[in-house]
A and B are shown apart, each in its own frame.
Chain A
């Protein structure tokens, strides 16, 4: 109530009133939060902010109590502060005067972790339906981690060993301290703008729950959730779970395993290609054998001296081609896994044009482009095309010729 008979408070009066109300209500509180904007004044007093994902609280610790704190307070540290709540009347700002502070124990951090996990889970941030499948063959991979330390080395060397075709883009971030969460969030905001990026690996080596705290920050969780490119997280050791792990599209136990999950093994893919190509060759071989058998039957059924010469020539050339194919397949089987370019060169040896260079030509219909297999077909077509190894010519069919 305004004193005297005035109908209003002065600012000083109101602040003083609120101060006494607050001080009476909260003579002693314990607050869990992260230290930020930490400053040690020349007077010896400590000024800082305590915060969590959503809110901030001004804090001051006077010199006499500050000297009793058993550790060096730093930004990013999770602490449990004990103090009284008051109002700094000059600024009308409410704050906590801290007179004891300890590093937050695992118990407190775990409780905070569980609470946030439940809240974000309810909100649907861990929804399996929202997770993106990883690309089978990523060729451009961003690695978001500290530029120093074991994690970046492990990830890069694993990627290079397993899958050399991939281009690796390092995005250096802080993974600990009060810059960690904002720098990771920034990375996840900027990376989708990188052209042709297929995958993001977010990693950090092992550490205490406090060390890994940035990966439990709500801002990081939301940035991962909102990232349109698949994110694989590999934070800490096997037993460490962070909120980032739950939100990411795939969780790996360690940075090395994140890299392993992210890419196929080059050898496996080469083996698969080898397999497919040898099936192709196999097919071509069977196809030619079939043609040879048909030709043999033809020769047997006609058995006419006049025709035989031409047929035998054709048979011989087919035999030769089949022999070649056999050789190719045998060599491919022997050299499987060795230099692939050679296998490819052998495959190209099967190309019809190579056969043409030995003096054959393919006859096709000049209009439809269909291959002509018989003299009757050629007479029907009239306008034909002859394909030699070095090019094509057009030709006109005049008449059937008797004899060889």
Chain B
């Protein structure tokens, strides 16, 4: 599955393309309405990616086998 970074980058890029196409290309009503809807959807995807992720802090610990485990931070370093 694509990472959040990849999904966000891709959505932002497509969203900007759509706005450009709507404003410059001579589209039929159906085409432009479909793009409008796609744009609204992509905007929602972006906002969800930004808002859903609650700033989490994990500590990485190397175990005996040399693999990394993610553990919750023992302290909350909020400002």
A residues whose Cβ falls under 8 Å from a Cβ of B: 135-140, 142, 147, 152-153, 156-157, 159-161, 164-172, 186, 190-191, 193-194, 196, 198, 266, 269-270, 272-273, 276-277, 279-280, 283-284, 287, 291, 340-341, 344, 347-348, 350-352, 370-371
Q: Considering the chains assembled together, what is the distance between the CA atoms of A168 and B53 in angstroms?
A: 11
Q: Which residues of the partner chain A approach B16 to less than 8 Å between Cβ atoms? A: 276
Contact check, A156 vs B68: say whether CB atoms are below 8 A apart: no
Q: Is the interface of B mostly helix, strand, loop or mixed?
A: helix
Most B CB contacts (10 A, CB to CB) among A139, A280, A340 go to A280
Task: Render B53-68 as a binary contact track against A, CB cut-off 8 A, 1 for contact.
Answer: 1111111101000111
Which of A171, A190, A283 touches B36 (beta carbons < 8 Å)?
A283
Question: Can you pick out 25 interface pairs between chain A and chain B where the beta carbons lie within 8 Å of each other?
Answer: A139-B49, A139-B53, A157-B79, A160-B55, A168-B55, A169-B57, A169-B59, A170-B57, A170-B58, A170-B60, A172-B60, A191-B60, A191-B68, A273-B47, A276-B15, A276-B19, A277-B39, A280-B19, A280-B22, A283-B36, A284-B36, A287-B29, A344-B47, A350-B40, A352-B37
Contact check, A137 vs B9: say whether CB atoms are below 8 A apart: yes
Least CB separation from A187: chain B residue: B60
Which of A172, A269, A283 touches B50 (beta carbons < 8 Å)?
A269
Which of A136, A167, A191, A273 touches B46 (beta carbons < 8 Å)?
A273
Contact check, A280 vs B44: say whether CB atoms are below 8 A apart: no
Q: Considering the chains assembled together, what is the distance between the CA atoms of A276 and B16 in angstroms?
A: 7
Contact check, B32 vs A156: say whether CB atoms are below 8 A apart: no
Q: Does B3 contact A (CB under 8 A)?
A: yes
Which of B23, B33, B43 touches A347 (beta carbons < 8 Å)?
B43
Q: Shortest CB–CB separation between residue A186 and chain B, in angstroms?
A: 7
If A283-B36, A351-B37 touch, does A167 touch B43 (CB 8 Å cutoff)? no
Q: Which residues of the partner chain A approach B66 to less than 8 Å between Cβ atoms? A: 190
Contact check, B29 vs A168: say whether CB atoms are below 8 A apart: no
Q: Considering the chains assembled together, what is the distance between the CA atoms of A351 and B55 in angstroms?
A: 32
Q: Which residues of the partner chain B approach A284 to less than 8 Å between Cβ atoms? A: 36
If A140-B5, A165-B50 touch, does A276 touch B43 (CB 8 Å cutoff)? yes
If A153-B77, A172-B59, A283-B36 touch, does A140 touch B3 (CB 8 Å cutoff)? yes
Contact check, B32 vs A283: say whether CB atoms are below 8 A apart: yes
Shortest beta-carbon contacts, A-B, top 10: A139-B4, A165-B53, A196-B3, A164-B55, A171-B60, A283-B22, A168-B57, A280-B39, A170-B59, A156-B77
Q: Considering the chains assembled together, what is the distance between the CA atoms of A160 and B60 in angstroms?
A: 18
Contact check, B56 vs A168: say whether CB atoms are below 8 A apart: yes
Least CB separation from A193: chain B residue: B68
Least CB separation from B73: chain A residue: A170
Contact check, B60 vs A169: say whether CB atoms are below 8 A apart: yes
Contact check, A186 vs B62: say whether CB atoms are below 8 A apart: yes
Q: Considering the chains assembled together, what is the distance between the CA atoms of A159 and B55 in angstroms?
A: 9
Q: Considering the chains assembled together, what is the distance between the CA atoms of A71 and B37 in angstroms?
A: 73
Contact check, A279 vs B23: say whether CB atoms are below 8 A apart: yes
Q: Which residues of the partner chain A approach B51 to less than 8 Å between Cβ atoms? A: 165, 340-341
Q: Which residues of the partner chain B approach A287 to less than 8 Å between Cβ atoms? A: 29, 32
Q: Shortest CB–CB separation between residue A281 and chain B, in angstroms?
A: 9
Q: Shortest CB–CB separation between residue B68 and chain A, in angstroms?
A: 5
